[in-house]
């Protein structure tokens, strides 16, 4: 649905907007026929029209952004965080799809495939490797672009093993988000993943979100450590996407299979998720414009 009234004005006043495409509609006018008393053409008492086909009428929308998330099969926390991030992205008014390999269907960590809360959707892919998964992600990004004029994200859950084995991928995923705790072992592992991604695509944009922290300073220190290891290790730069908290509501929400934002809208975990979703959305909008 268009954001501004200005976006749909040409349907009501096609004669004053010569550049607008003709709507696929018939317009019935009940305005008086007396030329003296007739209202200006833009004023119509009643009209009927068929909703225009957004695909045929609207200009082509840029595809949705595609964000890769390395998440293992038994990664309880990251699975929950990724799913909830997609819900919070949808809450912002953007499209949010979650694409995962078909093996995800057997996992209790993920919701059922299909439409989810606030218009999100979990799509299972038959892909058995990163290349096929990227193709599927690209198709989704294009097919869902028209609904929100290119504003939205396709979150792609990628098994870390697929990243390790395919160093030369089709390069459809250029934007990745690493979820790491402040634990040094995990930070080191995140750097290793980032290095593999960078080796496959030197232009890749890698972001990092620190989870499981109890203060902003803790998250900041962890991110700075991660960024320094990346700079020194392979010369790559990381982009910060805030922090997430692992409070009790995260685990309760996992057990209840309900998004944290709906179950506990005031919880710190929800506020953090909303903040990260906002940071991601801001960058996608920059991409749409840039």
Partner 1 sequence: MRVFAEDYLAESSPIDLLAVGGEGELIALRIGRDGDDAALLTHCLADIGWLRPRVPDFLKLAPTLGLEASAEPRAMLACPGFTRETVTAASSFAARTVELLTYHGVRERGQLRILLGTPDSPRLARSTKPLLLEDPPSDPAEEDPAEETVPHVATATRPQAEAPDPEDSAGGFRTGLRDEDLVLEPLEEEKSFD
Residues found near partner 1 in the complex (CB under 8 A): 1, 3-6, 72-78, 91-93, 181, 186, 203-205, 212, 214-216, 219-220, 223-224, 227, 231, 237-243, 245-249, 251, 265-266, 268, 271-272, 275, 278-279, 281-283, 285-287, 289-290
State the Cα angle at 102 between 98 and 106, rounded to 5°.
100
Give least dist CB 161 to partner 1, A: 11
Name which of 32 and 265 has its Cβ closer to partner 1.
265
Name which of 139 and 189 has its Cβ closer to partner 1.
189
The Cα-based distances of 151 to 82, 171, 179, 248, 260 in angstroms read: 18, 21, 23, 32, 23
Q: Where are the beta strands (DSSP E) in the chain?
A: 65-70, 95-101, 114-115, 121-125, 152-158, 175-181, 205-211, 238-244
Q: What is the distance between the alpha carbons of residues 159 and 163, in angstroms, rounded to a whole number?
A: 7
Give least dist CB 211 to partner 1, A: 10
Name which of 142 and 285 has its Cβ closer to partner 1.
285
Q: Which two tokens stand for residue 44?
A: 């119509």
Name which of 50 and 248 has its Cβ closer to partner 1.
248
Name which of 136 and 261 has its Cβ closer to partner 1.
261
Give least dist CB 269 to partner 1, A: 9
Name which of 17 and 32 has its Cβ closer to partner 1.
17
- The candidate with the shortest Cα–Cα distance to 67, out of 269, 227, 207, 237, is 207
Give least dist CB 153 to partner 1, A: 14
Pairing of strands 205-211, 175-181: parallel
Q: Which two tokens stand for residue 232?
A: 């020194």
Q: Which two tokens stand for residue 173?
A: 């995923």
Give least dist CB 242 to partner 1, A: 4
Give least dist CB 45 to partner 1, A: 20
Q: What is the distance between the alpha carbons of residues 53 and 25, in angstroms, rounded to a whole number?
A: 10
């Amino acid at each position: 649905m268009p954001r501004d009234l200005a976006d749909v004005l040409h349907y009501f006043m096609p004669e004053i907007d010569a550049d607008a495409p003709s709507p696929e509609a018939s317009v019935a006018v009940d305005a008086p026929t007396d030329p003296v008393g007739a209202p200006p053409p833009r004023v119509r008492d009643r009209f009927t029209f068929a909703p225009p086909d957004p695909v045929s009428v609207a200009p082509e929308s840029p595809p949705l952004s595609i964000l890769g998330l390395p998440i293992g099969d038994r990664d309880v926390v990251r699975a929950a965080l990724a799913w909830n991030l997609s819900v919070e992205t949808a809450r912002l008014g953007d499209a949010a799809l979650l694409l995962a390999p078909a093996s995800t269907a057997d996992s209790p960590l993920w919701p059922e495939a299909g439409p989810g809360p606030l218009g999100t959707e979990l799509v299972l892919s038959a892909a058995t490797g990163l290349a096929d998964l990227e193709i599927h992600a690209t198709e989704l990004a294009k097919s869902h672009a028209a609904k929100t004029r290119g504003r939205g994200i396709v979150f792609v859950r990628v098994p870390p093993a697929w990243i390790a084995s395919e160093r030369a991928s089709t390069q459809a995923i250029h934007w990745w988000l690493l979820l790491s705790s402040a634990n040094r072992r995990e930070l080191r592992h995140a750097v290793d993943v980032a290095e593999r991604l960078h080796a496959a695509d030197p232009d890749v944009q890698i972001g990092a979100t620190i989870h499981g922290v109890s203060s902003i300073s803790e998250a900041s220190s962890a991110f700075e450590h991660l960024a320094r290891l990346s700079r020194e290790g392979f010369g790559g730069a990381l982009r910060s996407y805030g922090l997430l908290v692992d409070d009790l509501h995260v685990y309760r929400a996992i057990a209840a299979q309900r998004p944290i934002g709906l179950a506990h809208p005031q919880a710190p975990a929800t506020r953090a998720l909303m903040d990260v979703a906002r940071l991601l959305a801001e960058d996608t909008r920059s991409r749409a414009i840039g």
